[in-house]
Amino acid sequence: MNMQEQIAAVEAELGAAVAPTPDAVEAFRIGMLGKNGKVTALLDAFKNVPPEEKRLWGQRLNQLKQAARSRWEELKAAAEAGPASADDAVDATRPVLTAHAGSLHPISIVRQRIINVFGHIGFTVSQGPEVEDDRHNFGALNFPPEHPARDMQDTFFVQGHGPSGAGDMALRTHTSSVQVRVMEAGQPPIRTISPGRVYRNEAISARAHCMFHQVEGLYVDKGVGFAELKGTLDYFTRSMFGPEVAIRMRPSYFPFTEPSAEVDMSCTICGGKGCTVCKHSGWVEIMGCGMVDPAVLANCGIDPGVYSGFAFGMGVERIAQLLYRVPDLRLYWENDVRFLEQFTDGAFRG
């Protein structure tokens, strides 16, 4: 190594030097400033430097010698002071600092779990636009013009964005519009789910939001009956919440299914005994379902005399609320890291 490289190496060694005991300090002094020390050796080599460079390297070597003496004095003072006091000692019982890893949002976790459950029994995933025309969002699904869901208090309408300038567009109020597009695109058998964001003009509260997520399912084929619908939903709830849960169906009404039903699941929080979540009934509503109305099949170009089918729809936030026992839906939208970091491994640890 040339003179510059040797000086740089010694300077680096000085900066990294550690000598916790008096013996180690003395060893450092001998190794650097002793008769055969590294700094001494460089000073001896100075006599071989060309005359025109002596001024430059003389200054550098004097600075190096002074730095070595200063470092020796620092180490000596620290060794003589003895170990740090109890107040300054490292607390070995404190948890180590760890890097925070990113994680999926809890809604994304639950959405993917739902997709996986239905994927195991042959359901594909279908997607569609979030800004929909009247036909796909309402008309083809058997919503008459006077239906309350068409009213401004429920739907976010987008003016002047209709096809060819005709009619209003709206932020979709359900992902059933995707099912219409799937049925229009091909003939049965059809077995698909359509997860996605939907929008309702509702006041934001602990139990409702103007934007949320749905997963709707559709199965159309020859000879599809209500028993298959109940078996599919029973399989889903047991897969998501455990084998001990039960479901029940209550008659209801939806424009696009006939007959229609609301699906309740035995409360996972109280085990069916009654609590505030299930309003002391032992049951919690989780989704709506029913047999696809023949008029909807005909609207989509499928012969209702040959084919039948069932449909169902659930809110992802509702399923997540039951899985994680989160009492306020607004927590999913506030992006509070203290809340979200509890889902790092996919399991809520609140």
Amino acid at 60: R
Return the structure tokens found at 295: 């008029």
SS3 of 173, please?
coil
pLDDT band at 256 (very low <50, low <70, confident <90, very high): very high
Residue % of the chain over a pLDDT of 90: 42
Domain boundaries in the chain?
3-81, 106-343
Return the structure tokens found at 190: 């059809």
> Do 193 and 176 meet the contact criterion of CB atoms below 8 Å apart?
no
pLDDT of amino acid 161: 47
Percent helix, strand, coil in the chain, to 5, is 40, 20, 40
pLDDT of amino acid 290: 97
Higher pLDDT, residue 16 or 185: 185
The span from the CA of 323 to the CA of 347, in Å, is: 9
pLDDT of amino acid 163: 41
Phi and psi of 285, rounded to 5°? -75, 135
The least confident of 82-91, 193-202, 329-338 is: 82-91
Which CATH fold would you assign to the domain 106-343? Answer: BirA Bifunctional Protein; domain 2 (3.30.930)
pLDDT band at 43 (very low <50, low <70, confident <90, very high): confident
- Beta bridge partner(s), residue 309: 220
Higher pLDDT, residue 7 or 241: 241
Return the structure tokens found at 41: 């050796």
The least confident of 32-41, 100-109, 248-257, 268-277 is: 268-277
pLDDT band at 107 (very low <50, low <70, confident <90, very high): very high
pLDDT of amino acid 38: 86
pLDDT of amino acid 112: 94
pLDDT band at 230 (very low <50, low <70, confident <90, very high): very high
- Beta bridge partner(s), residue 283: 266
SS3 of 34, please?
coil
- Beta bridge partner(s), residue 289: 261, 312
Alpha-carbon torsion (203, 133, 188, 117), positive or negative: negative
Q: How far apart are the first and last CA of the chain?
A: 61
pLDDT band at 123 (very low <50, low <70, confident <90, very high): very high
Judge if pTM exceeds 0.75.
Answer: no
Q: Are strands 190-199 and 211-221 parallel, antiparallel or unpaired?
A: antiparallel
Return the structure tokens found at 72: 């020796």
pLDDT at 326 over 60: yes
pLDDT at 160 over 60: no
Return the structure tokens found at 267: 């409360």
Once rounded to an integer, what is the mean pLDDT over residues 211-235? 96
Q: What's the Cα-to-Cα distance from 299 to each of 274, 294, 310, rounded to whole Å?
A: 43, 9, 16
